[in-house]
């Protein structure tokens, strides 16, 4: 079932979450361990992230370098298929521009469609560590807008080299990302929303936000989007802070602010347990306010750990 159909048919705020493929060497049981505790809350869909390969250069002597591609996590598509088979829950694989040519993208979409996966979240993705900025694959997409165009084209039966249009069209629901505090590379929020409108016009059926900790940022963002003609559902993304590392790492890495009253309480925390307890309390307050405003779904970023999200969901659902 498509995410957009879940959102349209529900009379309540849905519950959904995101999981990470495990590091290589671990098996699917590590995914199940993160999902099992959350199934009692009847998630409408589960997102599975994609992590592109890294590139390193190894000296081979005589001034020569060997380019080596490293994959740290197993494939998103296979994980989605296994989750769907085990739990009978809809999955949303992430598909990125980085590392994919247009042919690679088409192959991935054909495989998703074949497996009966109805959804995809289209993202540009981050640059790899060896790149000063994002560089697309040869004959790949530079922006998520262009990736969405290709997915929407396949939904109309437009394949890259099928001039006689003999192939059947796909039927994928397209999600896209948005940023209540603007994308890190955007000039300002106004220009970011203008680019977001282009993603929606290209074919995005719904949007899911980056994590945020101040609900006024989300409400103001949605209002500005509506004024610019963006009418698709905008799902808020939530992430409870659960350890001392999160306190410094998450705001810096994701370029987001913490509300003053939350930040002042966090700096008093001296243990991971204190941060986790406060993070759960704060996120419950956030979620209840969002539910009261009838948001489409509460989408939780678990980062592979479900304990805090379970504690939050048990107070909400």
Residue 251: how many CA atoms within 13 Å on its side-chain side? 11
**Average pLDDT of the segment spanning 8-19:** 97
Q: Which residues pair with 92 in a beta bridge?
A: 47
Tokens representing 305 are: 């750990």
- pLDDT surpasses 60 at 222: yes
- Average pLDDT of the chain, as a whole number: 91
- pLDDT surpasses 60 at 73: no
Structure confidence by residue, pLDDT tens digits, 167-204: 899 999 999 999 999 999 999 999 999 999 999 999 99
Predicted TM-score (pTM) of the model is: 0.92
Given this model, what pLDDT does residue 29 score? 86
Report which of 111, 105, 88, 90 is spatially closest to residue 173, judged by C-alpha positions: 90
Total domains in the fold of the chain: 1
**Average pLDDT of the segment spanning 246-254:** 92
Structure confidence by residue, pLDDT tens digits, 262-280: 999 999 999 999 999 999 9
Number of Cβ within 10 Å of residue 89's Cβ equals 16
Higher pLDDT, 138 or 233: 233
Backbone angles phi, psi at 316, to 5 degrees: -115, -30
Domain containing residue 41: 3-313
Distance CA 286, CA 279 (A): 10
- The percent of residues in the chain predicted with pLDDT above 90, rounded, is 78
Distance CA 64, CA 236 (A): 49
- pLDDT surpasses 50 at 283: yes
Higher pLDDT, 285 or 26: 285
Given this model, what pLDDT does residue 22 score? 81
Distance CA 11, CA 14 (A): 9
Number of residues that make up the chain: 317
Given this model, what pLDDT does residue 34 score? 92
Structure confidence by residue, pLDDT tens digits, 23-42: 766 778 889 999 999 999 99
CATH at 218: 3.20.20.220
Tokens representing 26 are: 């671990």
Please say whether the beta carbons of 90 and 63 come within 8 A: no
Given this model, what pLDDT does residue 129 score? 73
Higher pLDDT, 78 or 187: 187
> How far, CA to CA in Å, does 198 sit from each of 11, 66, 178, 265?
29, 40, 12, 39
């Amino acid at each position: 079932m498509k995410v957009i159909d879940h959102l349209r048919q529900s009379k309540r705020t849905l519950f959904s979450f995101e999981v990470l493929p495990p590091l290589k060497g671990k098996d699917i049981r590590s995914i199940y361990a993160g999902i099992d505790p959350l199934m009692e809350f009847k998630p409408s869909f589960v997102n599975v992230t994609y992590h592109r390969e890294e590139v390193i250069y190894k000296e081979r002597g005589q001034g020569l370098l060997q380019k080596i591609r490293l994959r740290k996590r197993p494939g998103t598509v296979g994980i989605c298929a296994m989750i769907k088979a085990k739990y009978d829950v809809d999955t949303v694989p992430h598909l990125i521009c980085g590392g994919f040519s247009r042919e690679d993208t088409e192959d991935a979409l054909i495989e998703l469609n074949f497996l009966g996966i109805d959804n995809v979240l289209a993202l540009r993705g981050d640059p790899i560590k060896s790149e000063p900025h994002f560089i697309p694959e040869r004959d790949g997409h530079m922006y998520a807008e262009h990736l969405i165009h290709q997915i929407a084209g396949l939904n109309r039966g437009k394949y890259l080299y099928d001039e006689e249009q003999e192939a059947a069209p796909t039927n994928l629901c397209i999600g896209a990302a948005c940023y209540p505090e603007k994308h890190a590379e955007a000039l300002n929020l106004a220009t970011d929303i203008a680019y977001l409108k282009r993603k929606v016009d290209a074919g995005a059926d719904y949007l899911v936000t980056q994590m945020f900790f101040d609900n006024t940022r989300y409400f103001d963002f949605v209002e500005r989007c509506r004024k610019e003609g963006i009418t698709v559902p905008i799902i808020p993304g939530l992430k409870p802070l659960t350890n001392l590392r999160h306190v410094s790492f998450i705001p810096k890495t994701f370029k987001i602010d913490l509300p003053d009253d939350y930040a002042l309480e966090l700096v008093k925390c001296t243990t991971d347990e204190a941060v986790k307890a406060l993070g759960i309390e704060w996120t419950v307050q956030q979620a209840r306010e969002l539910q009261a405003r009838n948001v489409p779904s509460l989408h939780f970023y678990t980062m592979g750990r479900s304990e805090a999200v379970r504690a939050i969901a048990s107070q909400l659902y």
